[in-house]
Each structure stands twice: as structure tokens, then as C-alpha cells.
Chain A
């Protein structure tokens, strides 16, 4: 294992890594200080606990894809990564996507497989957060918070992808013709969920899964909805756990629903609000995925720098050879731009997207009410009432600017593409500069190369994300497909 701790570039503060943060430190000092504090926590956890074990976990999962390192995740409990995005009123950190992204970049520089456990958890809870579903905030998300305090991780998963519909469920335009298998038929007191989801990160270890399914498969756009399913619910089981090329520390599993009864209260948000929910969630999560990819690239870069400092050819350190210097400089430039892209994506979302509604008087009032009060049956009834939810929705419609929403989509998809292409190119170039030694598992770089490829595929393939940029760049003119 190389010792990248000795590489000075791995010690830099957020302000040194992203110039905007230095500038913002003068304008919004608390904001930047908080981001830096989270960055420091993630860096510490990554270095002390994740990195020393990353290779071993990768090798264990290669033999047994169901292996999951609970101990390592337990060690993260004091840092609060599982609850960092949960509202303060429910005991969480109340952080938005930019903070999550900064944390994910740091964790990924250590091991993106482990980081993905937290990333996928974030995706799982975001439907509840962005749907302003206080009922679930006060229950399942409060469970995350309470368990974290006890040192016991409670993890979420987000189940969107189906065997025959991957890209199609991530895009409203394509959804109409999607071959969906999953359906949640309304029945007395709730829904009867049938079907399968595939490739679900954390799927085999999550206590809660946010499952996207239509009430009527023939009208997916109109009836798509989100449901909370718990591990062990009758009719719900985990199928195959995939043998993946990389990011092995985070299991990807098939979820099987066979007449799984979902009580009405486990609907997340409103019936039929799923398409919009998925769009909002992906708008929020693609920036952090850009950060995941940036962290992957940075991990490769830091290990490479360390190698070039130690390795001599022809009597000269690689670090002193011009062909290496130019390549290192260009890799650093690309990583820098990827970071800019994800910061743009996340900050645009945080400042102009759904989170800005949290600043509204009504939201603040509600948030100020302690969670245990909100859990009172009477208040629960009010919060869960269709009128209340429709009001929330109307508020979102009124307060969120359509242009801003298009910008969010452009920048978040752009960040995901930029980051993932950078991760792949930097990881590949690192292999090439090191040469044959880089192909050895114990040198970490080959793992990073395997990890990197996933970032171009999940959270919508880069093709789908490019199309999303186009649709939102030319919203009036753009049609779907070709």
C-alpha cells in the first residue's frame, strides 16, 4: 500500500481545493467553516478506518459479494454521515447536497466502494427529504438518527431500476414506453407491491428501501409513486447480490416483491408524484455523484503522485521527468474542473432548488416543532392529509422558478458526466504512467480503475445525462429520442 498521507496535495483544505470557497469564506464564513468541518471529519474517517481496509474488503467481496463490513460502517457512527442530511428537528445534521458532496469526495479518495454505502443511503433518504414528508422524517429518518447515536447503523436504499427498464425509469419522456415489471396496486389500507428491482446499492443490507413503482403499469407517468419498504416485510426478499467489477464494498442487490403489502402510511409523498420525485431526487443526487467520481479521480491521482516520487527510471524519479509532470498537471486540472462542476451542480440545487423552500416561514415553523410533538396522532393526521400535501406541492410549484429547475438539471447532469469521465481518464492514465506494477491489486490503482467505470453508468448513464443536459438547455424545442 502506498502512503498517500505523505503527499502534500492530499492535505489541502477546501479553500485550497476550490477557490470559490476561499472567496465565500469572506462572505459566508459559517457556511464555509461548516463545509470544512465536514470535510475534515470525512478525511479523518477515510484515512484512519477506510483506506487501511479498502483492499481487504475488495478482495473479500470478490470471493463473496454478500460480504458487508458492518464494523467499518459502525466506526462511522460518531461522525454522523448517515444522519448529516436529516433535518435538525429530527436530530440530524440538517446539511444539504454540497456538504454531502464534499464528504463523498473525501471518502472516495479513500475508497469509493465504502463511500457508495453512504452515497446510496443519501439517495434512499432524499425522496423523503425532498418530498417534505415529515411523517417519515419523524419515523424512519428519526430511526436512522437514534440508531446512529447508539452506534448501530440503519441504512437506506433507493430502488428505481428494473430488469427491463433502467434509463427508462430515470426519464419522464421515456417512461411512457418503459417495460415495467413493478406495480403497487391499491388495496384496502394500502398497496400490494409486485415485481423486481435490480442493481440496488445497499439493497441487501438496508433496513429501509424507498421503492419507486406505479399504481398502474399502463399509466406510469400519471401513477408513479414512492413507497417505504422495510427489510423483513412479508413478500419482500433480496434476490441475487451482484458480482460487480468494482465498488465491491457496497453490495448491489436484486429486490423481489411478491404480493408485498405496503400500508398506506408507507407511501412517501403523494400518490402519482413519483416522476416529479425521481426528477427532483436525481437533480439533487447527480451533483454528489459527480463528487464521488471526483474523489475516485483524486484517489488515483494521490496514489500516482506518491508512486512517481518514489519510483526512479534511468536514475531519475518519475516525478522529475517532464512527460510525467505534464500528465500530472493535466490530471490535476481535470480533477479541479470536475470539482468545480459538482460544486456548481450542488450549490445551484441547494440555493435555487427545493432546499430553498426550507427557508420559508412555514417550513421553519414546522421544523421548529420538535419531532416528538409532530408525531402526535392529531398532528400526524394533519401533516399526512391530502390538503397539507397538496399545499406543500403548490408551494413548491409557486416558489421554484422553472428556469432554475432547468439549470439544476443541466448542472447536476453536467457534474455527473464531467466527474465520471474524469475519473475514468485519470484512473486509466495512472495505470499507464505506473506501468505493469499498477495492475497488481496490492497497489490499489487497478481497484480504482474498476471502481471508476461505475460512475459512468449509475445514476443515469452518461448518455442519458447528456440528453438530460440537452433537454434542459433547450426545454421548449427539445423532443425526446431521435
Chain B
């Protein structure tokens, strides 16, 4: 996919302005307060059309290329990765619904003002999933859902929830439920390591009656939907991680040019120069991986691999950035400790990196056997 540099720059500028106006004033408070969904920022994002970025124009969207989406999420994440994820995850889930042809579910989401959460099931090898939710067909057009769906990311009190289940025959289902309904139990928003603007909560069903129209995909298409969802989320996570890296490195560099220690500005200590050089190299590599995966178009393996490499680099870079500020890096006021926590949390999404590696290996095995 060709990249239109001018459009990319415009996207970045829009996102940067949005972040300065709507996210910056709230980011620190959201990180520090009790966990809750940032409805205000989400609503402003919807007004700006961020929820439909990835939808084609024919579906009422803006037809953003993956590179443009990545640029937008990275720009938002330079201010706050948690808020960037709120907007990015929703946009990615909207796009996944669209691509899966789940028109009814999509229409329902777009007509409402609520965000979409996803209760992420554990991956099994080669992109299938494991879930404890059972879905019993009752009559012709209703399922009864039972069991814990696990931790949902991006959860809001009355938001939608994409969840995964197995029917009586053990066949997979992807479905759309809604929080706040009877028999959909959503736990309290959890206090988490990072990305605190994007709440996490346990979701479970107790005899929840779900109309069949809410089933997004069944059978192998549900596995394909799961893989597409992971791939889209991986791109958002990778983009957010790049934004975190860019901001952390810039901040560390600025500090190094101001902090005097050992008889000179600390940027002039050779060892620290090496550290910042490594950070720069990692950032360049991460940016490269992000645009590479964006150019390739939808590809589960590539998205998984890129998110692995980029989030690992982000953890290293932010940890070093904290280190470069010494004691100040460990303090809330300087904001770098938040970046380090956010980066470590990104490495766990949508699947933790060691599991991402196992999934990649399973895909690789298919190419040789």
C-alpha cells in the first residue's frame, strides 16, 4: 500500500492537536485516579470521526490506510498511551466487525455512543482460542451464554463487549454483548500497571440470552475473526508503543541536555551517549517495523511479529529513559515512569509476547510441514 506522505502528516497534526486539547489536560489525572472509562475523551474522539477511521468510505468511514491509523495512534500515544488505546482499540474493533461482514453488530455500535470492549480469550496454537463461555442454542434464534469470558479491555459501564464462546458441539463463536444488561456481569474496573485510561474488568455471563443476530461469526469464521481482531489490535498496540518510545526518548534527551553531573551535561558522558544511541536505533527499528506491517496490509503473522518486536523495544527504551533521569525518572511528576508502565502493559496486549512468539512459531511450522 503506497503511503501518501502529505496525508500522513495531516493525520499526525490532527491527532497531535486533538491530544493537546482533549487528552493532555486529563492524562495524568486519569492515570492517578480510580480506574474508570474516559467517556469524555471517547466522545470527543467520536465527534472527530476517530471511531470510523478504518472503515471504507462506502461504509460511512474515512478509509484510513493502516499507516495513517498507525500515525494517528502513535501521535495520541505521545501524549497518553492509555487514551490512544481507548480510541485505537475501538476503531480497530469497528473495522474488524466491518471486515467480518457483521453488519447488524456494526450498525448497532455505530448508532450508539458506546465504546467496544473485547474479552480476550487465551490463544491456542495457530490462532484458535480457548474460552470458558458456553453458548447453548435455545430455540432457533437465541443463545444462552454461561461462564467467565475473562478480562475485557476498554470496558465502559454500558459499552459493547466482543466475547468468544463455544457451542454445545465445541464449535467457536464470536459475539457481541452489552454491559449493563441483565446477566452480563462486569466486575469493577481494575487498578492496573499501566494504560489506566483504558479500563480492564472481568466479564462473565449467567444465563444471558443473546439473540443469534448478535453472533458475529460461528465455526471457522469465528477463528478467522479472532485472528483478524488480534492482527488489528496488534497494529494499534504497536503504534501506541512507537508513540510511547518517541515521547520517552525525546524527554530523556531533553533532560540529558539540561542535567549537569560529573562535571558536564550528562549527554556528554560517553556511556550515556551509547544508551541514547541504542534508544534511537531501537526507535528507528520500531518505526520501520510499524510502517512495514502497515504497508503489507492485513497479515496476522506480520502484525504479531511487529507488535512483539516493537513492544519489547518500547519496554527497553522506556526503562532506559527512566534510568537516564536517575531518581527523577522514578517520580510521577516527570511522567516517564508512566511511560515505562504503559510500555510494559502494551507488551501484554493483545497477547503477551512469549505467547505471541509461540503463535508465530505455529504459523511458521505450517509453512514447512
Instruction: State the A residues within 8 Å of B (CB).
Output: 59, 62, 161, 164-168, 171, 174, 176-177, 179, 198-199, 242-246, 313-314, 323, 327, 424, 428, 431-442, 446, 449-450, 453-454, 456-458, 461-463, 466-467, 480-482
Contact of B115 with A by CB under 8 A: no
Contact of B345 with A by CB under 8 A: yes
| Complex interface: chain A residues within 8 A of B353 (CB) | 432
Contact of B323 with A by CB under 8 A: yes
Q: What per-residue 1/0 map shows which CB atoms of B327-369 lie under 8 Å from chain A? A: 1011111000100110011011101111100100000000000
Of all chain A residues, which has the CB nearest B338?
A: A245
Q: How far is the CB of B265 from chain A (nearest CB, A)?
A: 12
Do A436 and B120 touch across chains, with their CB atoms under 8 A apart? yes
The stretch among B87-95, B188-196, B203-211 that forms the contact with chain A is: B188-196
Of all chain B residues, which has the CB nearest A467?
A: B271
Contact of B310 with A by CB under 8 A: no
Contact of B261 with A by CB under 8 A: yes
Do B349 and A436 touch across chains, with their CB atoms under 8 A apart? yes
Q: How far is the CA of A440 from the CA of B189 in the complex (A)?
A: 10
Q: How far is the CB of A217 from chain B (nearest CB, A)?
A: 15
Of all chain A residues, which has the CB nearest B352?
A: A435
| Complex interface: chain A residues within 8 A of B47 (CB) | none
Do B329 and A457 touch across chains, with their CB atoms under 8 A apart? yes
Do A439 and B345 touch across chains, with their CB atoms under 8 A apart? yes
A434, A439, A463, A480: which contacts B192 (Cβ < 8 A)? A439
Do B151 and A437 touch across chains, with their CB atoms under 8 A apart? yes
Q: How far is the CB of B132 from chain A (nearest CB, A)?
A: 11
Of all chain B residues, which has the CB nearest A427?
A: B344
Do A436 and B352 touch across chains, with their CB atoms under 8 A apart? yes
Do B331 and A244 touch across chains, with their CB atoms under 8 A apart? yes
Q: What per-residue 1/0 map shows which CB atoms of B257-286 lie under 8 Å from chain A? A: 000111110000111100000000000000
Sort A-B residue pairs by CB-CB distance and give the 7 closest, nearest first.
A446-B193, A177-B263, A245-B337, A243-B332, A441-B191, A435-B352, A482-B270
| Complex interface: chain B residues within 8 A of A482 (CB) | 269-271
**A-B pairs with beta carbons under 8 Å apart, 6 shown:** A245-B340, A432-B354, A453-B319, A457-B326, A461-B323, A462-B323
Known A177-B262, A243-B333, A457-B329; contact A432-B323, beta-carbon cutoff 8 A: no
Do A438 and B348 touch across chains, with their CB atoms under 8 A apart? yes
Q: How far is the CA of A243 from the CA of B338 in the complex (A)?
A: 12
A59, A161, A431: which contacts B344 (Cβ < 8 A)? A431
Do B326 and A166 touch across chains, with their CB atoms under 8 A apart? yes
Do A245 and B330 touch across chains, with their CB atoms under 8 A apart? yes
Do B261 and A440 touch across chains, with their CB atoms under 8 A apart? no
A243, A431, A433: which contacts B331 (Cβ < 8 A)? A243
Contact of B200 with A by CB under 8 A: yes
Do B341 and A450 touch across chains, with their CB atoms under 8 A apart? yes
Contact of B122 with A by CB under 8 A: yes
Known A432-B348, A438-B348; contact A481-B323, beta-carbon cutoff 8 A: no
| Complex interface: chain B residues within 8 A of A161 (CB) | 327
Q: How far is the CA of A118 from the CA of B345 in the complex (A)?
A: 31
| Complex interface: chain B residues within 8 A of A246 (CB) | 330
Contact of B167 with A by CB under 8 A: no
| Complex interface: chain A residues within 8 A of B130 (CB) | 313-314
Do A167 and B261 touch across chains, with their CB atoms under 8 A apart? yes
Q: How far is the CB of A385 from chain B (nearest CB, A)?
A: 38
Of all chain A residues, which has the CB nearest B322?
A: A453
Beyond A441-B191, A481-B269, 12 extra complex contacts between A and B, CB < 8 Å: A168-B261, A244-B330, A246-B330, A313-B122, A428-B344, A436-B348, A441-B193, A453-B337, A457-B326, A457-B329, A463-B272, A482-B270
